[in-house]
Amino acid sequence: MDLSRRNFFGVMAGTGTLLAGRTQNAHAWKSKAPENPFGCLVDLTRCVGCRKCEEACNQANHLPPPDKSFENKSVFEFKRRPDESKYTVVNRYYSGTKNDQDALLPTFVKIQCMHCQDPSCVSACVVGALTKKENGAVHYDVSKCIGCRYCMVACPFEIPAYEYHNPITPHVRKCNFCFEKISQSGGVPACASICPMEAITFGHRKQLIDIARNRMKKDPGKYVHDIYGEKEVGGTSWMYISGEPFEKVGFQKLPLTPPPKLTETIQHSLFSYLWSPILLYSLLGGIMWFKNKNDRGGTHES
Amino acid sequence: MNHNPYPLKKPFFTPGVYVMLVFMITGGVTVLARFIGGIGYVSNLTHLYPWGLWIGIDVASGVALAAGGFTTAALAHILGRHHYEPVVRPALLTAALGYTFVVLGLLVDIGRSWAIWKPMLYWNPNSVLFEVAMCVMVYLNVLYIEFIPIVTEQFKSKFSILAVLEDHLGKIMWIFVIAGVVLSCMHQSSLGSLMLIAPTKVHPLWYTPILPLLFLLSAISVGYPMVIFETTLITTSMKLDSEMDCLSPLSKITIYLLGVYMILKLGDMLVRGTYVYLLDFSAQSNSFLCEMLIGVITPWIMLCFENVRKSRKTLFFVSCLIIFGVLINRINVFIVGFKPHYSTTPYFPSIGEMLVTCGLIATLMFIYRLAVTWLPVLRAKAKKGGSS
């Protein structure tokens, strides 16, 4: 354990240069959201629960055939979640609203990856296998994935699913916003193009927000005055308007700040240019050198 | 007590060792099943609960409980308290083994084990896990390097090249000792940042922006109790002197370390007003109370009494409580306190997950025993007949 004076000053000099080279401002966190990506607006007042979107998604992504056919309405008896064999599902909710004959009115809610503007999964992914594309899609590159499943821990919408029964080469599975299709001009996601009720409107995010506001303005009694996904977790590419309060039809109340803001701020203010480890290293080096110098006054130490 | 570490060379196979072997074999069979049928075949992990026992215990708790390695190295080598040299080597051995098993646990848990090297190639500096992965990887190598002198010392009389290696390594060892402490501080705290990405899922009793600081402080304060725990265990099991002249002072330092952690933890609860959840009688609030009362406050109060610190038995008991406190804290943050909004049934580890974890721990203990038997790790003398 020999820390000589020369070694120590060498370390200190190196540290000094590195610290001096570090710019003073610990950068404030900035959103990396694309300016005006594609998105989808889902109008829950229009959806009739035909499940055509589920079928189109299944075919477009070459997913395994379902246990019950896409015409089967008994699936609505239970709340389903997207998984490795279905990237989108429609659930039925009864929020308590009744029609003239006193029968409960259903609300159908399609769920899939929301393609967040500042996605937690993208920030979390250890290898950057998940990326937010300029066109809005949160894209998964299996060639980088190590299968740590931190994206699943991070996702506020609890969407990514995992192939738990594949022992060697499992994938993370989720809606990919039909990335290949929407990358070509005029391309529309499979679910949006098939919808017979035009409940899913595909377009640019800012225009979709305008469309949503217009529909609310035209028919104020029909909608709750909120666009789910406009501001939630910093905004999402998929957004919803509804006639029923969102909490009653399966949407959770989410913070408006993007979750990566906190973790990335902590990480970058502590570790940008590795300033704190280098500082700690020099500090400990200094203490060690000082203590060793004092000890060397004759005592024989290990 | 001042003589050098030496291999114990005691009979290796005892009934305890056979118990370990049974756990190792069942664990090994389960690991085999995981690589044939997939993670889903042996575990209760789901899309909503992607992390379970393996991450909560094998990885998060494993890293925390291996903190003895860097805390003793800092004390004896950096702060120059050479009085504590006797515990540095056993703590180093625990850390080296502990981190090896963190990586082995990860190999079982991650879906594409063969791709574990990929973070070295594909960097995502925004990811907390990326930083943890890099630190753990480098630190594991640092630990192995720090361990080299123990091996060379044993075999240098047979192979003269080892003596040369030992000599050269000794001159630059300070680089690795300091690096070990710095890397530990980095990833111990970052393990706490991991869950901050999921504000809607982690229970407010644990979700706090100072979670990284709490993780670092709890790791530092569990370092010495862990050394006390394992030294007492191995000296009892191997019938050696108890090394109390080294352990008692360590427990005195722990009063301050654990005290700071306790104040911050309680202060954080008061500032964020999360005490409103304390009497929920939910699994979360009970587990939190358990963690704080049994694992932090009780041992801290006990440690303040000198006769607790002087007695081998009570000191061992207090160390167990502190270790329990940190263990349950990691389990709380990663498992109990993790509540996805859409989950209908809470996660509970499967038998398969438990068998793998028990198997890993048994293998770790097995190798530890192997190492102290054949390598110069411990320096406590064999106990003179009868005295305790």
pLDDT digits (tens, 9 = 90+) for A269-278: 988 888 999 9
pLDDT of residue A24: 43
Disruptive mutation site among A87, A126, A165, A300 for chain B (greatest number of B CBs within 10 Å): A126
pLDDT of residue B220: 96
Chain B residue nearest residue A272, CA to CA: B125
Q: What is the pLDDT of residues A195-207, one digit of tens each?
A: 999 999 999 999 9
Smallest Cβ–Cβ distance between A125 and the set B34, B40, B127 belongs to: B127
Q: What is the mean pLDDT of residues B83-105?
A: 92
Smallest Cβ–Cβ distance between B112 and the set A146, A252, A292 belongs to: A146
Smallest Cβ–Cβ distance between B212 and the set A266, A280, A287 belongs to: A266
- Please tell me whether residue B344 adopts helix, strand or coil conformation: coil
d(CA A123, CA A139): 13
Closest among A243, A232, A184 to A42, alpha carbons compared: A243
Q: Enumerate residues 6+ apart whose C-beta is below 8 A from A50.
A: A196, A197
The C-alpha of A147 sits at a distance from chain B's nearest C-alpha, in angstroms, of 4
Chain A residue nearest residue B119, CA to CA: A127
Smallest Cβ–Cβ distance between B80 and the set A126, A281, A292 belongs to: A292
Token representation of residue A199: 């409940």
pLDDT of residue B11: 76
Chain B residue nearest residue A261, CA to CA: B197
A vs B, Cβ pairs < 8 A, gives 202
Q: What is the mean pLDDT of residues A19-40?
A: 76
pLDDT of residue B13: 79
Predicted confidence band at B1 (pLDDT cuts at 50, 70, 90)?
A: very low
Predicted confidence band at B385 (pLDDT cuts at 50, 70, 90)?
A: very low
**The total number of residues written for chain B in this structure:** 388
Q: Is the pLDDT of residue B16 over 90?
A: no
d(CA B229, CA B323): 9
Please list every residue in chain A whose beta carbon sits closer than 8 Å to the beta carbon of residue B78. 284, 287-288, 291
Asked whether the beta carbons of residue B126 and residue A267 sit closer than 8 angstroms, the reply is yes
pLDDT of residue B3: 55
- A29-A30-A31-A32 Cα dihedral, nearest 10 degrees: -110
Asked whether the beta carbons of residue A144 and residue B122 sit closer than 8 angstroms, the reply is yes
d(CA B380, CA B232): 11
Predicted confidence band at A13 (pLDDT cuts at 50, 70, 90)?
A: low
d(CA B271, CA B267): 6
| DSSP notation for A31-95 | ----SS-EEEEEETTT-----HHHHHHHHHTTPPPPSS-TT-GGGGGS----BTTBS-EEEEEEE
d(CA B106, CA B56): 11
Residue A103 DSSP label:
P
Helix spans in B120-159 (H): 128-155
Q: What is the mean pLDDT of residues B79-107?
A: 92
Token representation of residue B163: 């003596």
d(CA B134, CA B119): 8
Question: Residue B17's Cα: distance from chain center in Å?
Answer: 21
Asked whether the beta carbons of residue A150 and residue B129 sit closer than 8 angstroms, the reply is yes
Q: Count other Cβ atoms within 10 Å, centred on residue B43.
A: 25
Q: Enumerate residues 6+ apart whose C-beta is below 8 A from B279.
A: B285
- Please tell me whether residue B192 adopts helix, strand or coil conformation: helix
Q: Tokens 């890993």 correspond to what residue?
A: B360
A61 burial (CB, 10 Å; 0-12 / 13-18 / 19+) is middle
Chain A residue nearest residue B85, CA to CA: A302
Asked whether the beta carbons of residue B182 and residue A161 sit closer than 8 angstroms, the reply is no
d(CA B180, CA A272): 20
Q: What is the mean pLDDT of residues B129-149?
A: 95
The C-alpha of A290 sits at a distance from chain B's nearest C-alpha, in angstroms, of 9
Give B71's strand partners: none
Q: What is the mean pLDDT of residues B14-32?
A: 94
Closest among B110, B53, B134, B117 to A147, alpha carbons compared: B110
pLDDT of residue A7: 58
d(CA B20, CA A163): 33
pLDDT of residue B246: 86
* Percent of chain B whose pLDDT exceeds 90: 76
Q: What is the pLDDT of residues A81-106, one digit of tens each?
A: 999 999 999 999 998 888 889 899 99
Asked whether the beta carbons of residue A260 and residue B126 sit closer than 8 angstroms, the reply is yes
Q: What is the pLDDT of residues B235-278, one digit of tens each?
A: 888 888 878 888 899 999 999 999 999 999 999 999 999 999 99
Asked whether the beta carbons of residue B78 and residue A287 sit closer than 8 angstroms, the reply is yes
Asked whether the beta carbons of residue A144 and residue B118 sit closer than 8 angstroms, the reply is yes
| DSSP notation for B360-388 | HHHHHHHHHHHHHHHSS---PPBPPTT--
Asked whether the beta carbons of residue B196 and residue A127 sit closer than 8 angstroms, the reply is no
- Extended strands (E) in A157-199: 161-162, 172-173
| Cα dihedral B184, B186, B189, B194 sign | negative
How far is the CA of B245 from the CAs of B83, B103, B126, B177, B239, in angstroms?
A: 9, 34, 46, 24, 17
- The model's pTM is 0.91
Q: Enumerate residues 6+ apart whose C-beta is below 8 A from B336.
A: B203, B283, B284, B287
Asked whether the beta carbons of residue B110 and residue A147 sit closer than 8 angstroms, the reply is yes
Asked whether the beta carbons of residue B38 and residue A170 sit closer than 8 angstroms, the reply is yes
Closest among B145, B136, B112 to B62, alpha carbons compared: B136
Helix axes B85-109, B128-155, angle to 10 degrees: 130
* Percent of chain B whose pLDDT exceeds 70: 98
Contact between A240 and A250 under an 8 Å Cβ cutoff? The reply is no
Closest among B80, B247, B18 to A291, alpha carbons compared: B80
Chain A residue nearest residue B135, CA to CA: A277
Disruptive mutation site among A266, A283, A291 for chain B (greatest number of B CBs within 10 Å): A266
Q: What is the mean pLDDT of residues A53-70?
A: 95
Disruptive mutation site among B117, B120, B142, B182 for chain A (greatest number of A CBs within 10 Å): B182
Smallest Cβ–Cβ distance between A281 and the set B82, B178, B338 belongs to: B178
Please list every residue in chain B whose beta carbon sits closer than 8 Å to the beta carbon of residue A262. 196-197, 199, 209
Q: Is the pLDDT of residue A23 over 50?
A: no
Is A292's Cβ below 8 Å from some Cβ in B?
yes
Token representation of residue B220: 């530092």
Q: What is the mean pLDDT of residues B204-222?
A: 96
Q: Comparing B285 with A8, which gets the higher pLDDT? A: B285
Q: In what order do the strands lie in the sheet containing A200-204? A: A200-204, A38-43, A238-241
Contact between A170 and A149 under an 8 Å Cβ cutoff? The reply is no
d(CA B173, CA B156): 18
Q: Is the pLDDT of residue A297 over 70?
A: no
Disruptive mutation site among B127, B193, B195 for chain A (greatest number of A CBs within 10 Å): B127
Residue B198 DSSP label:
-
| DSSP notation for B224-287 | HHHHHHHHHHHHHHTTB---HHHHHHHHHHHHHHHHHHHHHHHHHHHHHTGGGGTTS-SHHHHH
Q: In A, residues 115-174, which contact B (CB 8 Å cutoff)?
A: 120, 122-129, 144-150, 152-154, 156, 158, 160-170
| DSSP notation for A2-45 | ---HHHHHHHHHHHHHHHHHS-SS-PPP-----SS-EEEEEETT
pLDDT of residue B304: 95
Asked whether the beta carbons of residue B174 and residue A152 sit closer than 8 angstroms, the reply is no
Q: Comparing B239 with B354, which gets the higher pLDDT? A: B354
pLDDT of residue A299: 46
Token representation of residue B46: 């789901």
pLDDT of residue B241: 82
The C-alpha of B256 sits at a distance from chain A's nearest C-alpha, in angstroms, of 20
Q: What is the pLDDT of residues B166-212, one digit of tens each?
A: 888 988 999 999 999 999 999 999 999 999 999 999 999 999 999 99
Disruptive mutation site among A79, A91, A288 for chain B (greatest number of B CBs within 10 Å): A288
Q: What is the pLDDT of residues B279-327, one digit of tens each?
A: 989 999 999 999 999 999 999 999 999 999 999 999 999 999 999 999 9
How far is the CA of B71 from the CAs of A278, B219, B231, B310, in angstroms?
A: 19, 9, 15, 21
